[in-house]
Structure 1
Amino acid sequence: MSVLPDELRTRLVNWWVAAAVTDGVDPDQKPDTVPVAGTAVLKMFVTYNNVHTSAGSATLVRVPINAIFDDEGHLATPYPKGHPQEGRPMYRGVVLHVTDDPNASVQDYTWSIETKFNKVGDVQVQIPTFSFLLPYAEEPLNLADVAPTPATPGYGLPQSEAAALRSAESSAESAASAEESKQAALEAKQVSNSVRSDADAGNFDGLSAYQVWLGLGHTGTEAEFMNWLKGPQGDPGNATLRVDSTVGERVYVSAGATEKLLSSTTFMRDVASLLTANVTVGTDGFARMIRESNRATLLLKNVTFTGAATSNFFLTGYPIGFRPTAITARVPVYMNSSGTTNLTGVTIRYAERDMGIINRTATPTFGDQYSITQISWLTTDAWPTAAALAALPVVP
């Protein structure tokens, strides 16, 4: 049996698996640990890989690598078949071909490990098959640092690719030098390629971006990984918001000494007290008014004329802050008259500060149980004061 040429890079993989069990009779008062026995099969993701050395080129075909867990629960390489100690641990750990060997045609692939553990008492121990990157490094890779756990299910494919993209963008903006930017982008590409390869092969097993990051040789907590993805803190903005709730609500935004009004509303107000004596408000009816920015709106429902036909005006005046601009306008509206809906007109008079119906000949009604009449106009009045609206309560 021949060995790999020294030019092909390898790395030792370790793993210790133990079960935490009820504390036994011993000096401490802590749960005991029991080594977990069993076997493992490690597989290279690619079915074969071409390698190139000074001795020539060759094709390495993927064959499962068998391993065991020794009497203390450590992953170990067993003695081969036919050896007097066949099946017993030969040495701790398993030596594998690294996934970023420059002498190999295919790089940035993954290894997977499938375990089969013996029972601990009456409990069947299970760890799902998972994949991992194996970049070259002098120190061994501890699978306990990259094995997924139920508490950290990891990212799916879209989230991992998005995280990799954010990593590349943030690194490009914040790296202290061009070399650091290049290295960060390369590692981000490896994260994305690893996740995509698993998904394309139908073997995606939930390996998180954090675990892949650890597999690339990084160390740190998940919080440190998230900080690694981020760029530098940007400059604080200088815009501030101010809310004036004296009358209704006005929201301003300011940048330095300049302040701009974003939105304003008086909230809906009950103006039934401003109706003339020749109109009545029926069941479920109302008369309400609201100002938003420089637009005022009157809303009427089930408001009916009851006086003589010559009594056209129905609004005695406008609150200060709602008065129309210096014009007399006519607004077409639909009104109900004896069960029929007709198009008529409403006059908004500036000089008299009132509102009425044009050429009323019947006893029409603004709105009914199914509809609301809405009449709007522009105003150049200053924002109303609390005193001006004291008799016009806010409608909940």
Structure 2
Amino acid sequence: MGRKFLSFLGTTKYVPANYSFQAQKVDNVTFVQEALVQIFCKDWNKDDKICIFCTKDAQDKNWEDKDKSEKANFDKGLYSRLLSLNLRPNIEKVDIPEGKTEEEILAIFERVFNALKENDSITFDITHSFRSLPMLNLVVLNYAKFLKNIQIEGIYYGAFEVLGHPGGVEKNIPLEKRNAPIFDLTPYAELLEWSWAVSDFVKYGQTLRLKELVEEKTRPLLAETKGKNVSAKDLKTLAERLNELANNILCNRGYGITKQNNFNALIDNIQRTELIPPFKPLLEKIKTKTKDFRTDDVKNGFIAAKWCYEHGLIPQGITILQETIISLFCKGNELNIRDKRDREFISACLNVGDKPQIRLRDILEERKKEAEKIINTIPKEIPKLFRDLTGARNDINHGGFNKDARKYQKFYQQLNKFLQEAEKLF
């Protein structure tokens, strides 16, 4: 893994100024890159690299030292100025076209991408990214995050324009008062990661990306405060509980789904903080997705079965729906939802009218009076739904090898139908 500083050089005649970032300040530099590398690359080594992307015009005007060419803007170009800082990273100029056509934009994309190596750690200066380049840079960075596993350490912008037009600044503002801030735009790139992570959860019920991202962002805060940052703790707890819910559904852990806590209060607490302000609207998406789950409620299984249908987890949905019906009747008859014999007893009661196995028939005989009382209270539509669920579940468990095995499309249709029937009945 290497560290790289990436920046685009423009063609403007730049005006000397002083740039500051947090408590650090660099005085009297013509190019913002001079300030940025002194702030962010001062501890780098010879294995790291400073990459400056230049068009031919930018090279002539601002990269090379001044010669007899009328195109030159300064006596010393950016390259000489960077060398004079005696930093250890290698300095590399990367030629790019001007980006006036789609083909040239694609060429810029490829050259930025090719400058990135596997596992690189990237600091990006977008101060002089002209025309479509800011959007292009963001796309290529995220593209490389996936294909080359790069890490974005920071994205920065030297805001000279707060001082005014360069010509007016040079004439009217003395150098000691030309103080321009450097803005940290990294959180806005991170917002894309948050959006994708929440999208994974909302659209696909997947929580891994969200959990990893939350752990990455909260770990420094919790370490710094020795675990006492309440906002970071709440966000970490939310990610862990969402991950637990999703995995309980994925692995048919019905009791875990039943014992699920409501998410609303935890999300409300996080929304009242300033931990990650742009993340708040995304929290609303999570809240909407999880709002129907109740604390310690058997009926959470119906919500989970619907979740399964929405995310294509059809075998899980059929199993969870049937087991939830059993749990509901256990609860209604003051039986233990975790006792195997109680569950088999309720299953046998719900199978009346079908052809129960001998084992189930024995269970009914053993608890005959209790069974008769329960059976008499069951609406006739429920045993049919229960047996239909059993048939679908058995077909799934046998892997489609039975002669009358259903096509996979049929299971989607049937789960949807089962859910509609269950909603009416329960």
Normalising TM by the smaller chain, what interval? under 0.3
**TM-score, L = length of structure 1:** 0.23
Query: More helix per residue: 1 or 2?
Result: 2
User: Which of 1 and 2 has greater Rg?
Assistant: 1
**TM-score, L = length of structure 2:** 0.22
